[in-house]
Chains A and B, each alone.
Chain A
């Protein structure tokens, strides 16, 4: 009798486990669970992946990328795309660097078109003052938002295809960033600034707080404001939105401006961490950004997206690249592994969608 009892419990346990597995697969937060399983699996082989230092690494890698993906999310929800985010990062990082730096080597920077106008061997007129950091950051945010605004105007006003507009502005603004410094990177940024990238309150890094605020604000905007509803409406059907009195042009412009703003935030975090202003900052990051958004579940065709999805997508990508950094693989296998994992994740997601569809019909 007791044996049967145990047997029944076992069967019950097994059935329950299956049910849980199924629920996880069907859950909206599937990507999160996938990341956790991935992490857990790796932990068995590489315990140091869960070491405090590495968790800190993962954390510090996640937040700036998340800022970018959040910006991209707004544009994707509108049914657009923003390829210019990386060039916005480069441009703002250069401008912020120029305003804040305390020392510029004349041998390197004398060729810059701004030399003598704004720049000198002691940096800019702002440099060294108390206001350097706050004003520098403000300028970065302002420039990022303005570039986004220009993108948005071109897309909304002139009905130009978003892909081309942002591709051209990627060319232009990354070219501009390189032109402004004539290829040189800017060093000697004030401590107050670089600490954003390395310091924190106790154990919590500053970048976390910055992106936390950004994320919560984005969530509030999308979920709890008129504007947020308008974003989704425009992404689902521009024509219906127009007829329903949504100021579609304004909404689109705001979307791109937000994307630019978020890129500037990411730029602040990245260049603070690297302690330098770089005209090539994030040059090859674009596919990671869009990839993370799409893996997270944000649709490229508009109308769908959530802050949490962005977070999960970023978590997945960062975990993946972090794990690859710890394996002693030859360099050429890395892309193969990366590509395979992306395909696998996508495949699981498709299976999940199919199961979900069946769930509804049955």
Chain B
């Protein structure tokens, strides 16, 4: 028995160890085109909508999809991509955990000669070729906050701003916080010191901490959320305090965020939210897929192209003309009157 055990162990170990990366060839299977779609997580509406858009487009083209959730672990994502490559996928789309791990993962795909598209979070540098669609989180949030600052100036007094900060381990959250801070620091005459509320991208934490922060600083007149998915929490805290007021009503708190999701759309339309920084989700997904499929069809192995989603701040001022550029408004329109509560 003992000998058998050792033979077994030896067998497994040698198999695992000696199977070098070089001795494999891509296995194209039955000719079906397969794309691996690996995302970091699907916890906010933005990612859910992106996921849906990408999956549906791929499906409509008859492409088999291997989707993988990395649960916010860059290493796990790397393992997933490697496995997908070993399975012989024809293309890869990732929503990376962050720009730095994206570089490594793109490198893996390059080595294997599989075209790869990076969605929304760009690789930290351009050393490895990839199809990239980026939104500049910092700039978008700057634009939104700038509009909010203009509104604040109209109050004609010094204003206390508050920001719901995302998970400090997430690069997008950090960029959005930076964008907010940049504007605040540019207007020292207008703003008091900003109140920072940690949320860890968790609705419960956000609500608890926001409530505490507002107790400490009852005079907050401007709230910026690093992601629109936290609007329900902002509302839940403001409403009992009598601060959930439409624009123009007394006691209105200037509200803004980033993403441009369904709830942001609804509440902008109803006149509660002043501005939201929009990443053009559908365009981003579309552009990326187009480029990737093109590369796959033409047999390019390491295509390179950076596509900018300039993003913009949808504000009450430009809502009339640009509302339909925000994906949340599109969803709202799809839902029709039935979806509105």
Contact = CB atoms under 8 A, between A and B. Distances in A.
Count chain A CB atoms within 10 A of each CB in B17, B23, B29, B107 and give the residue with the most. Answer: B17
A5 interface: no
A322 B51 CA distance: 22
A152 interface: no
Interface in A182-208: 182-187, 202-205, 208
Interface stretch (B65-73, B213-221, B249-257, B273-281): B65-73
Contacts of B9: 32, 308, 311
A274 B24 contact: no
Interface in B156-180: 168-171, 173-174
B80 interface: yes
Nearest to B16: A59
Interface stretch (A50-58, A133-141, A297-305, A347-355): A50-58
A46 B66 CA distance: 14
A51 B101 contact: no
Contact of A274 (B34, B66, B101): B101
Interface stretch (B85-93, B229-237, B299-307, B331-339): B85-93
A29 interface: yes
B73 A52 contact: no
A288 to B, nearest CB: 9
A282 interface: yes
A163 B169 CA distance: 24
Contacts, number: 166
Contacts of A53: 19, 21, 23-24, 85-86
Interface in B25-76: 27, 29, 34, 39, 42, 51, 64-69, 71-76
A284 B71 contact: yes
A353 to B, nearest CB: 18
State the majority secondary structure of interface residues on B.
Answer: helix
Interface string A22-60: 010001010011001000000000111001111111111
A62 interface: yes
B16 A58 contact: yes
Count chain B CB atoms within 10 A of each CB in A58, A281, A328, A331 and give the residue with the most. Answer: A331
Given A27-B1, A328-B66, A54 B83 contact: yes
A269 to B, nearest CB: 10
Contacts of B12: 32, 36, 315
B8 A328 contact: no
B124 interface: yes
Nearest to B100: A185
Contacts of A308: 9
A48 to B, nearest CB: 5
A60 B103 CA distance: 19
A273 B73 contact: no
B72 A284 contact: yes
Contacts of B97: 280
B207 to A, nearest CB: 21
B103 A275 contact: yes
A325 B18 contact: no
B73 A204 contact: no
B340 interface: no
Closest 8 CB pairs of A and B: A203-B20, A55-B19, A53-B24, A325-B83, A54-B86, A185-B100, A52-B24, A59-B16
Interface of A: 23, 27, 29, 32-33, 36, 46-48, 51-62, 178, 182-187, 202-205, 208, 270, 273-276, 278-285, 308, 311, 315, 321-322, 324-331, 334
Given A202-B20, A334-B69, 17 more contacts: A29-B8, A36-B8, A51-B24, A56-B16, A57-B82, A178-B168, A270-B75, A274-B75, A274-B104, A282-B75, A321-B79, A322-B83, A327-B66, A328-B34, A328-B65, A331-B39, A331-B68
